[in-house]
Structure 1
Amino acid sequence: MFKQLSNRIFWHRLLYSVVALIVLGGLVTLMGFIKGKSSEQACTEVRIVVLGAESFIEQQDIMAMLVEKYGELEGRTLEDIPTHEMEKDLRQIPFVFSAMVTIDMDGVLAVRIVQREAVVRVINNKGLDFYIDKEGHKMPVSLKYVPRVPVVNGHITEPYNGALDSMETQLVKDIFKTAQFINADSVWSSQVVQLYVNEYQDIELVPRVGNQQIILGNADSLERKFEKLMLFYNKIVPKTGIDAYTSVNLKFAGQIVCERDERFKPEELISMPDSTLDNTPNNSINTQ
């Protein structure tokens, strides 16, 4: 009985092996046929899709770049189209975050581009300007498209060579972090129209409403600083008016330092302990 069972197992295994070889041979033959057919098939169409919220680069720009380097693509045999090399070239464009080039069975060359997304525009102390994208890379400005992002200028020494590059100074890293915070909040993205870096390397906010010099300092504790600024607008401005203060300093922990316009009163310190934000029901501010 054991011998009969062993024979059955042997013949079953042999049968499975033969079937597997037949299937594998069929696949190899089919793939060879497809490859041979593909090598003879010509490109019937070039489809370019450019994705992203920005318009730094358009379909016609991609097509022009490909044609300039590789010549006319439609009508060329698929075997002669170097898709991997095309992808590498497209990724070298500073506005391009990712690029994918594929060819389907119908001879369609598909190009898929994802653009970089700008967060802030920086103008350094030498007048050179660049964007910082969502990944924290410096990228060039475009002559054909201007995204709606905060602009920062002033005492900024960050260099720029015109290509895709990483951030170097802590100041620009703080600018990037601050711009990200502002862009993520509909209230602040509407109220803050520009950033400025003063001679002390402090980041200042330029408001849409009011003429105050709003001193943020660095990008530490951004949420706390903007909470204090909101308290200023909600608690102080209704009592004094929007133009009563020439500057609002948010740098110091636990307090807002507001300097009044000379036409009103001398400088006064508005003390706001951290516990005020957390424990006071109405977020009151104590004026000293």
Structure 2
Amino acid sequence: MAIKVNIKKIVSFTLWCTLGAGVVVLLVAAIGYRNNKTCKGYRIEIAGASGTQFIDKKQILDLLAGTGAGKIQNTPIAHFDLRRMESVLEKNVWIKDAELFFDNNEILRVNVTEREPIARVFTREGNSFYMDSSGVQLPLSDKLTTKLPVFTNYPTAKIRTHGADSLLIVQMKQLSAFIRSDSFWTAQIAQMDVTMDKRFELIPTIGNHIIGFGDGSDYQAKFHRLFVFYKEVLSKTGFDKYSRIDVAYAGQVIGTHKAGTRVDSLQGMRNIQQMIRSAQLLRSDTIHQRDMRPLETPVQTEQTLTNYDLIPANGDSVRTTSPTTTNHPPVRPRAIMPKTNNKPHNNH
């Protein structure tokens, strides 16, 4: 009985080994058959989230030619080093991923995924570049047709995704993604300035005030409080009544009055309507240059608005305090430059 069992095991093992060897032989034969064939052509596919192509098919062909592939069509398939060709393509700053393979018709398929810019960054030294969703630094391109959030006063000449600036980069990516997802804020936030302590000050398109945002934490709630303040307060008081609006503290909006401002509720409502229209008619990635007016000193009034308990309907009832002496740091100019085909907007 034991002998019969052993014979069955031996026969089964032999059959499996024979089958495995046959599969290997067939694969080797198929590969050899494929390698003896020549490439009949190529097909290049470029994918990008924004639909904008920052690298074209000719540039990809030039990169492939630099790998020694030479003329692609009618070249023996065995002469192609696909992994090396993928590596060469992925060294291009605009290419996030590359995949090359031959299909059943001996056509070389080149599938490329582009990097997508999500923000434009200006450094303290005056350099400018794009940043993608992975925090990779990208060069400027005239092919970009979409409006991007703008960050100014970035502390270093290059993006550093590790080390001291890693949290700052994460917060910049989060703020940029949020603003891009909301047409209202895309139209209203002209730029976000990085302060010396790596917090954010937002500069609006409409209104001559600065928005103290704090760090990038709890950003959705901060934007919500700011929107409520715009709708319930600035629509009644006018957009030039406050020199600074702070939303950095949880559950609070702190507005600092300007001296000598006039309440114009009709103009305030028009400003709200204009922002909504701007959100519907987004401009291209034009960055406008205009100087930021310094804050008026001394600060005369301050109102803390908690849990959206804002101000009475007359829109002008605030608590007056004695002027305090405040040493304001020098105000940085807006690092925003217009395209030649767009006229700069007068926001004052």
Q: TM-score, normalised by structure 1?
A: 0.81
For 2:170 and 2:32, how far apart are their aligned partners in 1? 53
For 1:122 and 1:105, how far apart are their aligned partners in 2? 45
Alignment root-mean-square deviation, CA? 2.7
Contact 1:193 1:207 in 2 (8 A): yes
Contact 2:95 2:112 in 1 (8 A): yes
Q: What secondary structure does 1:272 align onto? A: strand
Return the letter of the residue paired with 1:188: W
Return the letter of the residue paired with 2:215: N
Equivalence for 1:209: 206
Change (3 A) 1:186 1:147: closer
For 2:105 and 2:67, how far apart are their aligned partners in 1? 24
Q: Which one scores higher on RCO, CA 8 angstroms, separation ≥ 6?
A: 2
1:185 matches 2:179: no
Match of 2:301 among 261, 265, 268: 268
Aligned residues: 272
Shift of 1:183: 2.3
CA deviations on 1:99-127 (whole Å, 9 max, x unpaired) are 11112332121111111122211011222
Contact 2:201 2:211 in 1 (8 A): yes
For 1:166 and 1:200, how far apart are their aligned partners in 2? 18
The gaps in structure 1 that reach 5 residues or longer are 277-282
The range that moved more, 137-146 or 56-65, is: 137-146
1:140 matches 2:128: no
Give the helix-richer structure, 1 or 2: 1
For 1:59 and 1:204, how far apart are their aligned partners in 2? 41
Equivalence for 1:279: none
Equivalence for 1:42: 38
CA deviations on 1:242-264 (whole Å, 9 max, x unpaired) are 33333322234443232334332
Equivalence for 2:12: 16
Contact 1:90 1:96 in 2 (8 A): yes
Q: What secondary structure does 2:144 align onto? A: coil
CA deviations on 1:71-108 (whole Å, 9 max, x unpaired) are 11111111110101011111111112111111233212
Change (3 A) 1:219 1:165: closer
Equivalence for 1:280: none
Change (3 A) 1:259 1:200: farther
For 1:175 and 1:47, how far apart are their aligned partners in 2? 37
Return the letter of the residue paired with 2:214: G
1:285 matches 2:303: no
Equivalence for 1:166: 161
For 1:247 and 1:272, how far apart are their aligned partners in 2? 14
The range that moved more, 107-116 or 217-226, is: 217-226
For 1:114 and 1:245, how far apart are their aligned partners in 2? 46
For 1:254 and 1:23, how far apart are their aligned partners in 2? 71
Return the letter of the residue paired with 1:132: M
1:246 matches 2:249: no
Contact 2:225 2:247 in 1 (8 A): yes
The range that moved more, 230-239 or 217-226, is: 217-226
For 2:79 and 2:59, how far apart are their aligned partners in 1? 22
Change (3 A) 1:272 1:56: same
The gaps in structure 2 that reach 5 residues or longer are 263-298, 312-317, 320-348
Shift of 1:151: 1.7
Match of 2:154 among 153, 156, 162: 156
Q: What secondary structure does 2:154 align onto? A: coil
Q: What secondary structure does 2:55 align onto? A: coil
Equivalence for 1:63: 61
CA deviations on 1:124-146 (whole Å, 9 max, x unpaired) are 12221122211122222224335
For 2:198 and 2:18, how far apart are their aligned partners in 1? 74
Return the letter of the residue paired with 1:237: L
1:222 matches 2:219: yes
Return the letter of the residue paired with 2:302: L
Contact 1:138 1:165 in 2 (8 A): no
Q: TM-score, normalised by structure 2?
A: 0.69
Return the letter of the residue paired with 2:184: V
The range that moved more, 141-150 or 82-91, is: 141-150
